[in-house]
Chain A
């Protein structure tokens, strides 16, 4: 007889997310994640630089398709992510609690995350009009500047926020047509992996978002130096860390975007300028008669 008390619960294996798939790290390494009581709550993939390299290849491959998708479609997909997250909010609340948050704050964070997704879904087909311009020139040219996605963005997600901080940095990049590789929070990585499952179920094409778990110190150099990455976003670290990132990013003149002092829970931490930070301005001179 199988009663409810005799059932063995099935624990989730937290894996990484590369190219629309959930592999284990190629290195075969893992690290135990402990809660504040010192109990192991999950074994996380200890991502390696090769995982990062594979992720960048996937992101580069996904870039042409995603950046040329219509703004309307990208907005719809952002909205879809919010819908999927809403449906699974209990799971995210539980994971936040498991990582040491109070139930009340956890619920608030998940709700804020869903709202943030809706916020950027709305901006999807609007930021272009706001930031583009027709420029006055003194020759018979129609001169205009428009935004284009910069390319592959590497994102070191904030360490002290499991879900909201990650989403607040990933969504402005992808809503603008970029693809990205993200390193999840080192001390609270659970929600990042579950969020990858949400992305996976939301028609986000494979490779547009790639999420790794692992140690900052080991990977930050790769995130900053990879020649096929066009912008690097980081949210933690002192002046020395920032200087190292800038130095390593200089080889291929990446955009370096520091969001160190942001409080992601605040409403002012969502704005279209975050989209603009990972855009390039293209100016076109178009000849006109007389």
Chain B
């Protein structure tokens, strides 16, 4: 039996036993990951890994089928001038665009992720959230990125949030469920840790920092707290949960620092697109520019890379 096959208990965890977070310690630890020096060969390998973990994202009110098709083309042909590049892990779109994305990606091994549950605010009745999730899955979404009800969570209605995640998980069927905590609205690292534990016990396959619509989005300290929660949950239950920082990661250098943190917190088992993703729109081009720089020795310009 693979680790991935372990099911969530489906029981509400006792949140009073969730350890408190040492904020100063976490920030210091996170800052230390940024001092690692990654040299040429490892850097190229890391950049390839980053590319393979990207959820190429477009979540705008102005999205059109044309824009989504264009993004899918980009996902398939990242930069054909550089041979041997991996493809991105998934395309992340609104539910109405799932069908378009699915068709545009064809037989390529790239997942379609759909946000759901009244993204980004999550302010809708549960019935509608469930229906939205089912529609996205029926249209072919391989992954669902849901948002938690932050209002309810901040009010202390943990049971409500837990039930909601569990219900969405059920509605997902075979689709993977990523649970967005929207850490920028949770306020403290203690709450981030608690929300992570809640989401994992309710059945999340991935926990994700942010929608990208709220500042601050993903930061190293927040991601570290969530990684630690994943680690402790794994020791407790034997179930692996994936991690997806999203929003604000636009430079290759920062993405590599996230990988360093992943390696030093969860270890090699998590260092695949199956267990780790970057939610980003402009990161891919920066990575491609860095790879082109490594190949040619010349610093690159965005003018020579496809817009996304």
Residues of A bordering B, CB below 8 Å: 53, 56, 222, 225-228, 251-252
Contact = CB atoms under 8 A, between A and B. Distances in A.
Nearest to B297: A225
B298 A251 contact: yes
A143 B259 CA distance: 55
Contacts of B303: 227-228, 252
Contacts of B302: 228
B235 interface: no
Nearest to A56: B299
A148 to B, nearest CB: 15
A279 B301 CA distance: 19
Interface residues of B, number: 7
A227 B299 CA distance: 6
Given A226-B299, A228-B302, A252-B304, 15 more contacts: A53-B299, A222-B299, A225-B298, A225-B299, A226-B298, A227-B299, A227-B300, A227-B301, A227-B303, A227-B304, A228-B300, A228-B301, A251-B298, A252-B301, A252-B303
Interface in B256-308: 298-304
B298 A228 contact: no
Interface of B: 298-304
Nearest to B302: A228
A5 to B, nearest CB: 45
A119 to B, nearest CB: 33
A52 to B, nearest CB: 8
Contacts of A227: 298-301, 303-304
Most B-side CB within 10 Å, residue of A53, A56, A227, A228: A227
A240 to B, nearest CB: 20
Nearest to A225: B298
A252 B304 CA distance: 10
A110 to B, nearest CB: 35
Contacts of A222: 299
Most A-side CB within 10 Å, residue of B298, B300, B302, B303: B298
A262 B302 CA distance: 34
A46 B222 CA distance: 36
A153 B302 CA distance: 16
23 contacts: A53-B299, A56-B299, A222-B299, A225-B298, A225-B299, A226-B298, A226-B299, A226-B301, A227-B298, A227-B299, A227-B300, A227-B301, A227-B303, A227-B304, A228-B299, A228-B300, A228-B301, A228-B302, A228-B303, A251-B298, A252-B301, A252-B303, A252-B304
Contacts of A56: 299
A159 to B, nearest CB: 24
A30 B98 CA distance: 55
A251 B303 CA distance: 13
B36 to A, nearest CB: 15
A180 to B, nearest CB: 16
A144 B16 CA distance: 74
A95 to B, nearest CB: 32
A52 B243 CA distance: 35
A156 to B, nearest CB: 16
B301 to A, nearest CB: 3
Most B-side CB within 10 Å, residue of A53, A56, A225, A228: A228
A225 B300 CA distance: 9
Contacts of A252: 301, 303-304
A251 B300 CA distance: 11
Contacts of A53: 299
A252 B298 CA distance: 11
Nearest to A226: B299
Contacts of A251: 298
Nearest to B304: A227
Contacts of B301: 226-228, 252
A228 B299 CA distance: 7
A252 B300 CA distance: 10
A53 B300 CA distance: 10
Nearest to A222: B299
Contacts of A228: 299-303
B47 to A, nearest CB: 16
A222 B304 CA distance: 18
B288 to A, nearest CB: 13
Contacts of B304: 227, 252
A251 B304 CA distance: 12
Contacts of B299: 53, 56, 222, 225-228
A228 B298 CA distance: 10
A228 B302 CA distance: 7
Nearest to B298: A225
Most A-side CB within 10 Å, residue of B301, B302, B303, B304: B301
B165 to A, nearest CB: 40
A212 to B, nearest CB: 14
A48 B54 CA distance: 31
